[in-house]
Amino acid sequence: MRLNIVTYPDKTLRKKNEEVKEVDQDIKNLALDMIETMHGANGAGIAAPQVGVNKKIIIVNWQKEDYVFINPRIIKKSFLKYTDKEGCLSFPGLEIMVKRPKKITVKAIDYSGKSIEIIADGMFARILQHEIDHIEGNLLIDFASKKGKDEYKKSLN
């Protein structure tokens, strides 16, 4: 089922997100709905708060494959960083240059409830970091200059 995407400045995007205690059928159904929603919006990733659910779940589409990460956390970041343009489903029309570590290691639980640890590089790492930011209450607009923030907020009126 396709879900509604929450857009800025909805307060759901800044709320504290709960860890998932058990990967039950409700969590699996939510993950499947998030995947459908992400594809319907042509996104590369989506986080549960973006569909109004304050739980630590993210979906990433990488190389035509959908990945479910539950309670993801970055445990290692490379010293090497790079800057690239990012957009966000919760910020229609906004694109910002963001500097992020080029390589990260993430620990999470997958769709089947198994503990996983992955090493991601380049764009895959960037998408993961962007979505993990969402479940930590950090948003794309936080990376914008004051002028960029002001312009975007004006565009909402």
| pLDDT value, residue 83 | 95
Average pLDDT over residues 93-117: 97
Per-residue pLDDT tens over the stretch 73-92: 999 999 999 999 999 999 99
| pLDDT value, residue 150 | 86
Type and span of the H or E element at 104: strand 103-109
Which DSSP category does 4 fall into? P
Average pLDDT over residues 19-23: 98
| pLDDT value, residue 154 | 86
For this structure, is 117 an active site residue? no
Type and span of the H or E element at 153: helix 146-155
Instruction: Check pLDDT > 80 for residue 46.
Output: yes
Catalytic residue among 36, 131, 136, 151: 131
Mean pLDDT of the chain: 96
| pLDDT value, residue 106 | 98
| pLDDT value, residue 157 | 76
Q: What are the structural domains, with CATH classification, of the chain?
A: 11-152 (3.90.45.10)
More confident residue, 152 or 51: 51
Cα 88 to Cα 76: distance, rounded to the nearest angstrom = 24
- 96-119: string of b/e by CB count within 10 Å (b at 16+)? bebebbebbebebbebeeeebebe
